[in-house]
Amino acid sequence: LDLDLAAPRTDTSGRHPLPTADQLSELFGSWGLTPDKQLIAYDNAGGAVAARLWWLARWAGHEQVALLDGGLQAWEQSGGPLSTARPSNGTGRYPVQPGQLPEMPVHAVEGGVSAGELTLIDARDPVRFAGGAEPIDPVAGHVPGALNRPFNLNLDEQGRFKSPAALAAEFAALLDGQPEPVVSMCGSGVTACHNLFAMTLAGLSPAALYVGSWSEWIRDPARPVGRS
């Protein structure tokens, strides 16, 4: 995550800024990825990190990208083979076309929050969202007016994604009467991508990613903080 799926943190950014197009071009090229190849992302964390790769690949213009439902655990349970061999690296560069998925910078989020003209969905767990505890960032709480949709609600008891119909119904209830656009956030723009994937799976219109998320929002002490 820190080495491949994010750029170095700056004095004003969140914890996981987007990689540059050049970084992604080199990374995808080192994997041997080309525009005609299927990319499948997986992890052992319910898709929490794999969803960031899914979003980055789509943002960079790679259409053929999917998540392995159930992740590494499901693969092992199905009898899929495992390897410890290090794959040989490619030497080319991927033709990145950045900006193919929407994102929203902090100044636009601030303006939308102030005017009540957007809906923020925060993917962090309820305790962090409410401000009851904050084990990662220096300030606890949430952006005032944000809705809480912990990313693990997208999964069933077996750790697989709920059906598109179930996800569509849950997001419809969450967003009923809320203004557009819809913007997804979390602590640093990682698990927010899980909600974006679930919304895509549900057939909803693409929502924007607030990349900096909570860890960027609190960099400016003048920005309001909500607690509940």
Catalytic positions: 186
Is the peptide bond prior to 179 cis by the omega test (within 30 degrees of 0)?
no
**DSSP strands (E only) in the chain:** 39-41, 65-67, 119-122, 147-148, 182-185, 208-209
Q: Helix or strand or coil: residue 174? A: helix
CA–CA distance, 206 with 197 (Å, rounded to integer): 9
List, in sequence order, every residue forming a beta bridge with 182; answer none if it has no partner. 119
What is the C-alpha radius of gyration for the chain, rounded to an integer number of angstroms? Answer: 18
CA–CA distance, 8 with 41 (Å, rounded to integer): 22
Alpha carbon of 209 to those of 32, 149, 185, 198, 227: distances in Å?
27, 14, 6, 13, 22
CA–CA distance, 49 with 105 (Å, rounded to integer): 21
Q: Specify whether the CB–CB gap between 192 and 5 falls below 8 A.
A: no
Q: Helix or strand or coil: residue 221? A: coil
Single out the residue of 59, 57, 34, 54 nearest to residue 43, CA to CA: 54
